[in-house]
Amino acid sequence: MRPLSEITEPDPRFRALVVHDQGALRPLTLADHHAMVAGIVLPAGVTADVLTLFERARAALLYGWFAYELTPLAEHQACAALECALRQRFLAEGGALPRPPGLRRLLGAAVERGWLPEGTLDTVAPFLTELRNQVAHGDAYLGTPGWAAETLHQCATLIARLYPGEAQSTAAPLAP
């Protein structure tokens, strides 16, 4: 745990991260990090449970600026939001959940029903299920904020496909 006097300082590992800005590299700032997280949103119409889980993921990723170890928590919560959205879609459609109803089986059944694109099982599903399992089962995995942002983006994209016809964001704006 960091000393109280340092908790509002960026995690030292962020010092190594840079962005390409107008032809030059510069250190990543909190504003850059905030903009990255703020750009990952869900469509309107997602259920309160899905939104709560996903907002928890966004908050963990945002506050990872101060505690890098929150990065895997953000990824895990994004996967949990996706799994929650899949379960709710199955129940809303009156269908039985695959047995056992793990993330990979839910993704596969969603592809079979045409809710998600065919390539999902070959591209995104292996990555998300392995990541979720690593974090859920005690692996000391620690990714990067950029990788975590991509995980949140992939989960948000799949969740959006489960809510067809919804276009607006339900994400609360992140305070500047």
Q: What is the pLDDT of residue 134?
A: 84
Does residue 21 lie in a domain region?
no
Residue 169: strand pairing partners: 43
Does residue 96 lie in a domain region?
yes
Would you tell me how many other CB atoms lie within 10 Å of the CB of residue 168? Answer: 10
| CATH number, domain containing residue 46 | 1.20.120
Does residue 175 lie in a domain region?
no
Q: Coil, strand, or helix at residue 27?
A: strand
Does residue 72 lie in a domain region?
yes
Does residue 169 lie in a domain region?
no
Q: What is the pLDDT of residue 172?
A: 47
What does the block give as tokens for 151?
């995980």
What's the start-to-end Cα distance of the chain, in Å? 26
Who wins on pLDDT, 131 or 85?
85
> Which residue reads 């032809």 in tokens?
23
Does residue 83 lie in a domain region?
yes
Give me the sign of the Cα torsion angle 124, 126, 97, 77.
negative
**pLDDT tens-digit series, residues 73-92:** 999 999 999 999 999 999 99
Write down the pTM of the prediction.
0.88
> Which residue reads 């692996």 in tokens?
139
Total domains in the chain come to: 1
User: Strand runs (DSSP E) across 13-140, as ranges?
Assistant: 18-21, 24-27
Q: What is the pLDDT of residue 139?
A: 78
Q: Determine the number of helices (DSSP H) and then strands (DSSP E) in the chain.
A: 6, 2
**pLDDT tens-digit series, residues 151-168:** 999 999 999 999 976 554
Q: Which residue range(s) make up the domain with 111?
A: 31-162
Q: Residue 44: pLDDT above 60?
A: yes
Asked if residue 38 lies in contact with residue 173, where contact means CB atoms within 8 angstroms, the answer is yes
Does residue 100 lie in a domain region?
yes
Q: Which residues of 68-77 are buried (b: 16+ CB within 10 A; e: fewer)?
A: bebbbbbbbb
Does residue 43 lie in a domain region?
yes
